[in-house]
Amino acid sequence: MTDVKGKKAVVFGGTSGIGLASVIKLRDLGAEVVAISRDPSRAGEIDGVTLAGCDVRDRDAMAALLADLAPFDILISAATGGSRAAGPFLEMDLDGYQASFDKLWGYANVVRLGAEFLTEEGSITLVSGSPARKAKPGQAALASVGGAVEQFVRAVAVEIAPKRINVVSPGVIDTPMFGPDSEQRQKMLGGATAKHLIPRAGQAEEVADGIIFVVQNSYTTGTTIDVDGGWLLS
């Protein structure tokens, strides 16, 4: 397993949810961490972590930021890129469906512009989602984007070796994405996971553990790691 102590990590979407949990774990393991989001001020200060602002869809700004941060050993993106459409596809606004792919475009920007600054033994990790391989009704957009992300990672892995790239696929995770009302959020999450093998929502820290695994495991590339409470088997 690769020791991340003293390594430099750049994390997009790093000030909330899964990205923030990954930032904290990397920091606690001794990495030098830069957490990036569209509005890092919303997170306040994170002890021992450098904050930066950038929209993953802004190619010019990202290119300048990555060049300024270079070189780095770990590149992670958990940035959603914008809004995501939900509901029956035949009733869906197609502009909303198309906008859901901002996540993929953001990831493509991160990889295309960041890989050249990655050290030779460095790694890239992206985040997809369980609907990529087992979609429930109303998840056509999520499934389409997640499937594209996972295939993108497999295709890019053979091109950038020996640098590594992997994807972590979470199930239903209790993050701010589900809204600020704790009681309503727990009710929604409970219903969504009631039939899962592990009948509860996951925590951002549990997904971050999967991210840390593929960052540290130097024999893993082009792989999808599932952290889904048994979604795929339910």
Residues in the chain, overall count: 234
Residues 70-123 have pLDDT tens digits of 999 999 999 988 788 999 999 999 999 999 999 999 999 999 999 999 999 999
Counted domains in the chain: 1
Which amino acid, 223?
Answer: T
Segments forming the whole domain that contains residue 58: 8-227
Return the CATH number at 164: 3.40.50.720
Report if residue 234 sits inside a domain: no
Q: What average pLDDT does the segment 114-139 reach?
A: 96
Report if residue 176 sits inside a domain: yes
Q: For residue 54, give the nearest of 77, 74, 71, 33 by alpha carbon.
A: 77
Spell out the long-range contacts of 65-69 with Cβ–Cβ below 8 A and sequence spacing 24 or more: 65/36, 66/10, 66/113, 66/114, 66/117, 67/117, 69/8, 69/10, 69/34, 69/117
94's CB contacts (< 8 A; 6+ apart) are none
Report if residue 118 sits inside a domain: yes
Enter the pTM of the model.
Answer: 0.94
Report if residue 141 sits inside a domain: yes
Identify the H or E element spanning 26. Answer: helix 17-28
Q: State residue 179's pLDDT score.
A: 66
pLDDT at 46 over 80: yes
